[in-house]
């Protein structure tokens, strides 16, 4: 059973919709289950326990959401040398008004510090979540879950 952790923060609901679509994609995959957690409620053990993690953040002021950064701040020291996190697959979904590149690059850099493994191209979703965007989020969730189950990561 692939346990996929989806960590998100959302103030006005856009990123939450994307994160829920990612979770739906995971749940639609055989032998996979999604754990959807707000970043503020996520602790280091959650990252240790999952088989892959997908981080969903809005871009605020050219950066990731403060709650996502807070999650990294709270957990990095305890996890940076932890074998349970080494090469764990990760994906990223960014929700942005018109850019998203800054939030993305900072999250990617931090994920490198955790020694997580990039297994899918990140999604940067601009504006409201259209059906097309939600479908891409579902696909990201199912692709990562399938990859974990197939042992290809
Ligand atoms: C305080 C604040 C700062 C923002 N800064 C940016 C920004 O720097 N770049 C950008 O593309 N969008 C920016 N936006 C737009 C949000 O990224 C976008 O509306 C996103 O979908 C919000 O996600 P949420 O509904 O999950 O909170 C900002 C929005 C807010 C509320």
Is the pTM value of this prediction over 0.75? yes
**pLDDT grade, residue 23 (50/70/90)?**
very high
Listing DSSP states for 82-111 in one string gives -TTTTT-EEEEEEEESS--HHHHHHHHHHH
Segments making up each domain of the chain, as ranges:
2-150
pLDDT value of residue 65: 98
CATH architecture designation of domain 2-150: 3-Layer(aba) Sandwich (3.40)
The residue whose CA has the least distance to atom 17 of ligand 1 is: 96
Token digits of residue 153: 């990561």
99 CA to centre of ligand 1 in angstroms: 9
**Average confidence (pLDDT) over 6-15:** 98
Q: Select from 20, 96, 125 the residue to mutate for testing ligand 1; criterion: most ligand atoms less than 8 Å from CB.
A: 96
Q: What is the pLDDT of residues 25-77, one digit of tens each?
A: 999 999 999 999 999 999 999 999 999 999 999 999 999 999 999 999 999 99
Q: What is the pLDDT of residues 66-123, one digit of tens each?
A: 999 999 999 999 999 999 999 999 999 999 999 999 999 999 999 999 999 999 999 9
* 58 Cβ closer than 6 Å to some ligand 1 atom: yes
Q: Are strands 63-64 and 52-60 parallel, antiparallel or unpaired?
A: antiparallel
């Amino acid at each position: 059973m692939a346990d996929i952790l989806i960590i998100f923060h959302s103030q006005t609901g856009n990123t939450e919709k994307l994160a829920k679509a990612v979770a739906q994609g995971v749940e639609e995959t055989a032998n996979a289950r999604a754990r959807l957690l707000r970043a503020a409620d996520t602790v280091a053990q959650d990252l240790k326990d999952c088989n892959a993690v997908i981080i969903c953040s809005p871009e605020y002021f050219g950066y990731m959401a403060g709650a996502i950064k807070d999650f990294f701040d709270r957990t990095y020291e305890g996890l940076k040398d932890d074998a349970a996190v080494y090469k764990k697959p990760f994906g990223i979904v960014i929700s942005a008004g018109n850019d998203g590149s800054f939030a993305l690059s900072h999250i990617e850099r931090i994920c490198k510090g955790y020694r997580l493994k990039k297994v899918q191209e990140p999604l940067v979703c601009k504006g409201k979540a259209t059906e097309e965007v939600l479908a891409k989020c579902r696909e990201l969730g199912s692709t990562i879950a399938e990859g974990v189950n197939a042992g290809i990561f």
